[in-house]
Every structure is written in C-alpha cells, then in structure tokens.
Amino acid sequence: MLRPLIYLFALTAMLASCSPPQQLFQSPGPVTDNRNVLKQYFQPKEAVIKPGDKLSLSIWGHEELSIGSVNSVYNSDEVTGKWLVVDNDGEVNFPQIGRVKVAGYDVKEVNYLMEEKYRALLKDPIINVRVINHFVTVLGEVNKPGRYPLDNEQMTLVEIIGSAAGLTPYAKGHEVKIIRQVQNKPVELVVDLTDLVTFGDYNVQLQSDDVVYIGPNEKKGADERLRRAAVVGGILGGVALAASIILR
C-alpha cells in the first residue's frame, strides 16, 4: 500500500530538484571592449560571392535567359525554384554567355559584370543577380526563432528581429548578442536595444551565418520557479489526499 506513496514522493523530489534550462552563448571569459569589437568586426561591407553560393539571375523581359527570376512567379529560394551554383573555381555557367568568374566579387559588381556580358546579346539589359543561400539565425526570446534569408545582403539587426516577429515579454533587450565567425573564431557584439543614444551605431548590418541571440530576463526565471512550485504544490496536495485515503 505504501509503494504508490513512495513513487509520488520520488516524483515530487525530482520535479523540485529540476533546474531551469541553461542560457545559450554564455562567455566564460572577461567582457571585451564592445566599442572596439564594433569598429573592428561589425562595420558595413558588401558580402563577397564564394564557391558553393547559389545565385538567381533575372533579366527583365527575357525569362528564357533567366534562372529563378524575381520577375516570375517561379522565383527562387534555397528550397524551391532554380538557381546557378558557383563552382570550386569560382565560376558560373550563365545561359548563352558561358562560364564567368564571379567569386571574389560582391553582388553589385556581378550585376555590372553581367550587364556588360549580356550587352553583346541584348540591348540595354536590366539584370538582377541575387545570392539565395545567405542566412542569419535568430534564437532565444523572439516570437518566431529560426533561419532567415538576407534580402540581397541588406538586413540590419532591428530588421531581422522584425522578421522574427519581435521580442517576447521575457527578452533581455539590453543584452542582444550578435555572434560572427571571423577567421574561424567567434566574435561577439552585445547590443543594448533600450539605449536610444547608441542605437544608430549598434543597429549593424548583418552578414551571412551571423547568429542573433536574445537571452531571457530575470522575470522568466522567476515565473519558471513559480510554475514549478505550483506543479510541486499540486503533487504534494495529491500525495496528502492519497495518504489520507490509504491510511484510514
């Protein structure tokens, strides 16, 4: 008869001892000079095309030459549609003009290059080349965490948070982290979204493979403890009721 009570007490003890989930991206070392990190690693710059990138090609009025055209209902993203892949030599085999080296150039430069190449075939071509496999990952206290494509390499911190449907009530808005790989090492910039004075400087332009992390504030920890206390209290009440029935 006592065995069910033993199980209930064991479950109660287990729930009471559970610790809240750990936060991600905690820096064990000393905090770096945030302003220096901003100047050294987070200044705006054009993204450079590299081998393995996937490109779409839109030529206005010439869908027969376009690949994943933005002018068509069949435009591309990384999941659906069509694209051209930059090979290991940094080249792409474009329709009608053949192989062209694009690695090492930014998107604007490739657009100019393609206009020059296609001018031999077309009169005043209007061309839009897009990179469709550049993404930023947003994690933590946003309403829609996930992986978001960069819109032609132009996306700021606030814009990406907007794409993720904004911050949750538990977000630590004064400590938003942007983590960027620089020479295979992570570099972290901490942004205070509540500080209007520095907002203009720290609303940085994001790059492909950046991670934006918004940790939970203290209110979430307190609410989590209250929730677990309520669960434990409910179980204890059930245990007490069961004990009173069994021991009658």
Q: Which pLDDT value is given to residue 47?
A: 86
Q: How many CA atoms lie within 13 A of 101 on its CB side?
A: 3
Q: What is the pLDDT of residues 68-112, one digit of tens each?
A: 877 665 555 555 568 899 999 999 999 999 999 999 999 999 999
Say what percent of the chain tops pLDDT 70. 70
Q: Which pLDDT value is given to residue 72?
A: 61
Q: Which pLDDT value is given to residue 19?
A: 56
Please determine, for residue 162, whether its predicted confidence score (pLDDT) is greater than 60.
yes
Question: How sure is the predictor about 211, in pLDDT bands with cuts at 50, 70 and 90?
Answer: very high
Question: How sure is the predictor about 234, in pLDDT bands with cuts at 50, 70 and 90?
Answer: low
- In this predicted model, which residue has the larger pLDDT, 144 or 220? 144
**Residue 98, number of CB atoms within 10 A of its CB:** 10
Q: Which pLDDT value is given to residue 14?
A: 54
Please determine, for residue 42, whether its predicted confidence score (pLDDT) is greater than 60.
yes
Q: Which two tokens stand for residue 158?
A: 């606030």
Rounded to the nearest 10°, the torsion over CA 218, 205, 133, 106 is -160
Question: How sure is the predictor about 53, in pLDDT bands with cuts at 50, 70 and 90?
Answer: very high
Question: How sure is the predictor about 46, in pLDDT bands with cuts at 50, 70 and 90?
Answer: confident
Please determine, for residue 173, whether its predicted confidence score (pLDDT) is greater than 70.
yes
SS3 annotation, the chain: CCHHHHHHHHHHHHHHHCCCCCCCCCCCCCCCCHHHHHHHHCCCCCCECCCCCEEEEEECCCCCCCECCCCCCCCCCCCCCCCEECCCCCEEEECCCEEEECCCCEHHHHHHHHHHHHCCCCCCCCEEEEECCCEEEEEECECCCEEEECCCCCCEHHHHHHHCCCECCCEEEEEEEEEEEECCEEEEEEECCCCCCCHHHHCCECCCCCEEEEEECHHHHHHHHHHHHHHHHHHHHHHHHHHHHHCC
Q: Which pLDDT value is given to residue 135?
A: 93
Q: Closest Cα to residue 179, out of 191, 167, 168?
A: 191
Q: Which pLDDT value is given to residue 3?
A: 55
Q: What is the pLDDT of residues 103-152, one digit of tens each?
A: 999 999 999 999 999 999 999 999 999 999 999 999 999 999 999 998 76
Rounded to the nearest 10°, the torsion over CA 154, 159, 165, 170 is 130
Q: At 208, which amino acid appears?
A: S
Q: Which pLDDT value is given to residue 224?
A: 61
Please determine, for residue 29, whether its predicted confidence score (pLDDT) is greater than 60.
no
Q: Which pLDDT value is given to residue 82?
A: 81
Instruction: State residue 66 phi and psi, 5-degree precision.
Output: -85, 150
Question: How sure is the predictor about 160, in pLDDT bands with cuts at 50, 70 and 90?
Answer: very high
The pTM (predicted TM-score) of the whole model is 0.73
User: Is-contact 47 134, C-beta < 8 A?
Assistant: yes
d(CA 131, CA 154): 11
